[in-house]
């Protein structure tokens, strides 16, 4: 939390300094929230002399709310102040809650009989566990207009 307060304070001071320096420069400070979803799935396999081939699949969920701050600095054209000439944005986000969902672990063993069980096809083991994720995102973005005319394109 201390880092968040430091970043917000620094962003506000930078915004005030830039706005007072020139009229066609701007700085915007804001709070950001995002929801990250999906999973990261790992599949590993191998061969064991006693068991034959084996495989394991781990599905780690990435379902978290994130919050943080953003800072955009840039300039506009003097002849058309409503059109942005160029801007540079930084966004810092961190997870609010560590709860990410359910981790799924699936395992397959070719030679089930090695464990004293009759052989069969399909999954041999499956478990689910609560997953916790802590994360930080730093997002850097730059945009620049190559023309100040009405048909000018914004290139990122």
Per-residue pLDDT reduced to its tens digit, 4-63: 566 566 655 555 545 544 567 777 888 999 998 999 999 999 998 876 788 999 999 988
Alpha carbons 142 and 33: distance in angstroms, whole number? 20
Q: What is the pTM of this model?
A: 0.58
Give the N- to C-terminal CA distance of the chain in Å, as an integer: 32
The string of pLDDT tens digits covering residues 49-98 is 876 788 999 999 988 999 999 988 888 777 776 777 788 889 999 998 88
- Which tens digits make up the pLDDT trace of 130-148? 999 888 989 888 887 766 4
Q: Where are the beta strands (DSSP E) in the chain?
A: 25-36, 39-48, 52-61, 64-76, 84-95, 99-109, 125-132, 136-145, 154-155
In the structure, what pLDDT confidence band is assigned to residue 128 with cuts at 50, 70 and 90? Answer: very high
Pairing, β 64-76 against β 154-155: unpaired
Sheet-wide strand order for 39-48: 39-48, 52-61, 99-109, 125-132
């Amino acid at each position: 939390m201390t880092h968040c307060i430091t970043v917000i304070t620094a962003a506000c001071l930078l915004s005030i300094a830039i706005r007072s320096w020139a009229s066609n420069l701007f700085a915007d400070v804001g709070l950001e929230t995002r929801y990250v979803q999906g999973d990261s799935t790992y599949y590993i396999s191998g061969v064991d002399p006693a068991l034959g081939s084996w495989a394991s699949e781990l599905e780690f969920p990435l379902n978290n709310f994130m919050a943080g701050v953003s800072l955009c600095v840039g300039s506009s054209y003097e002849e058309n102040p409503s059109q942005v000439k160029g801007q540079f944005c930084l966004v810092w986000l961190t997870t609010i809650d560590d709860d990410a969902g359910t981790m799924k672990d699936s395992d397959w063993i070719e030679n089930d009989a090695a464990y004293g069980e009759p052989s069969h096809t399909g999954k041999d083991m499956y478990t689910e566990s609560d997953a916790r994720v802590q994360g930080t995102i730093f997002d850097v973005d730059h945009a620049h207009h190559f023309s100040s005319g009405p048909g000018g394109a914004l290139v990122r």
